[in-house]
Each structure stands twice: as structure tokens, then as C-alpha cells.
Amino acid sequence: MIKSIVISHYNEDIEWISNIDKSIRIYLYTKGSQDLSFFNKIENIKIYNLQNVGKEQQTYFYHIVNNYNSLEDLMYFIQANPFEHCIDFLDKLNNNFIGPLSDFNLITSIYGQPDETKYKRHIDHKYGNALPSDIIGNIFIDPWNEDVSLYTINYIIDVIPELNIKKENWIYNANGLYSSTREKIQKIPKSVYDKCLSIFYDSNINMTEYAFERLQKFILLK
């Protein structure tokens, strides 16, 4: 099985990737100003510069569109500091984990730690005294940008009907870290990923990255 990691980087400390097994292909997309030339010496790392648009969600679609016919068997789509949202990321990497890389399955604490008190503080803002077991697999929208997120989610579902997403199926996944297989990703034609990518450049639509973050379960994990 050939594995790869797609990293969306800004100016985070990225030294940790030099410790990843050399059999894993690393695609490092940087949108910041750091000098990353050191990594050019490492054979399994490829570095690309991208416009600072759309946070990690734009990076993921960009990679898929530009590598659609040469994707690896298993891919990890991650932020440059995955440990903030998935403290056991390296364990999941080593164990071929497939799914949203959160500490709470489909939902994770925005604080990045598997601490029920912090987790509940976030959820309590909107959903009362819900327990993790009550929340997994249910429908939630970000309580801090709900109106904009709902509008943009509706827009994406309407203008890309090929995604076949039902509006009642929204799931709140707050970490932006995913793993998927080539087989799953290629269930969706490349032309549809092109349409997803183009939305990030529509100046009339706000919060696109947050909307796609909440829809990726129905795209990367189709």
C-alpha cells in the first residue's frame, strides 16, 4: 500500500515531518513565507507554493485536481500542525487509519485535546449538556458562525448538485483533518473537484473553507 500526506502549511513549525517514514510521500503546500528549502534535500518530500486562499480545504481540492490520475492508495489530508486536533495523528498514520482524524470520531474539540470538560464547553454554547456519545453521527452547525456557514453550505449544495448531498445530512466536523483512499476520492469525477476548487475564488461567497470543512464527510469519504 502506497501512502501519502497532503499538508496545508502557512508558517507553522514543520520540522516534525522529517521524522516520517521515507516510504510515505509528502506533498507540502505552503501559503506562507518560511524558507523550507531544507526539505528539498529529503527525497520523499515535494514542496509547492500556493496563493493564500481557502485555508486547508482549498489545498486539498487543489492537490486532488492536479493529481487525480496518480493518487496514492491511502492519503492523509492534514493541517501543518495536525496534533492540535488529533494528538494521536502519528499512531493513526502508522495504523492506516481511514476516516476523519478527530478525537471524537465525526466531531472533535476545537481545543484539540480529548478533554471532556473543554469539549463540552464548546458544545454547550449551542447544544446544552450533550455527551460525546449523543453527538457522534448527529447534525450540528458551528455555533460561532452559523448564519454564514449555513448560507455557504446551502450554496455549495445547490451549485454542485453532482455531490448529491442532502441538506439534512450536515455534520459538524471541526478539525479539517481527513484520511481517504484513491477509490473513495475517484468516486467523484475530477470535473466536480474542479467546481469545488473554483468556489474558493468567488468573491461573493464567504466562509467557503468552513462550509467545505463541514461537507467533507460526503466528499473525501464518500
Average pLDDT, the chain: 80
At residue 107, the pLDDT reads 38
Residue 28 has pLDDT above 50, yes or no: yes
**CA-based end-to-end distance of the chain:** 20
**Distance, CA of 44 to CA of 215 (rounded, Å):** 30
The number of residues making up the chain comes to 222
- CA distances (Å), origin 21, targets 27, 133, 207, 208: 14, 35, 35, 34
If you average pLDDT over residues 122-151, what whole number do you get?
52
- 79 and 8 in contact (C-beta within 8 Å)? yes
For the whole model, what pTM was predicted?
Answer: 0.82
Residue 100 has pLDDT above 80, yes or no: no
Res. 151 pLDDT band, cuts 50 70 90: confident
Res. 109 pLDDT band, cuts 50 70 90: very low
Annotated domain spans of the chain: 3-218
Residue 139 has pLDDT above 90, yes or no: no
* Better-predicted residue by pLDDT, 73 or 97: 73
Residue entry with cell 484539540: 112
pLDDT in tens, 62-89: 999 999 999 999 999 999 998 877 778 8
pLDDT in tens, 181-192: 999 999 999 999
- What the block records as the C-alpha cell of 75 is 492519503
At residue 173, the pLDDT reads 55
Number of Cβ within 10 Å of residue 222's Cβ equals: 16
Residue 215 has pLDDT above 90, yes or no: no
pLDDT in tens, 7-21: 999 999 999 998 899
Q: What is the DSSP string of 131-194?
A: -HHHHTTS----TTSHHHHHHHHHHHHHH-GGG---GGG-----S--EEEEHHHHTTS-HHHHH
Q: Which of 178, 189, 204 is nearest to 57 (CA)?
A: 178
Question: What radius of gyration, in Å, describes the C-alpha atoms of the chain?
Answer: 17
- CA distances (Å), origin 6, targets 59, 63, 178, 198: 8, 8, 10, 19
Give the whole-number percent of the chain exceeding pLDDT 70.
Answer: 75
Res. 168 pLDDT band, cuts 50 70 90: low
Number of Cβ within 10 Å of residue 92's Cβ equals: 17
Q: Which of 151, 171, 160, 155 is nearest to 61 (CA)?
A: 160
At residue 204, the pLDDT reads 81
At residue 110, the pLDDT reads 34
At residue 174, the pLDDT reads 58
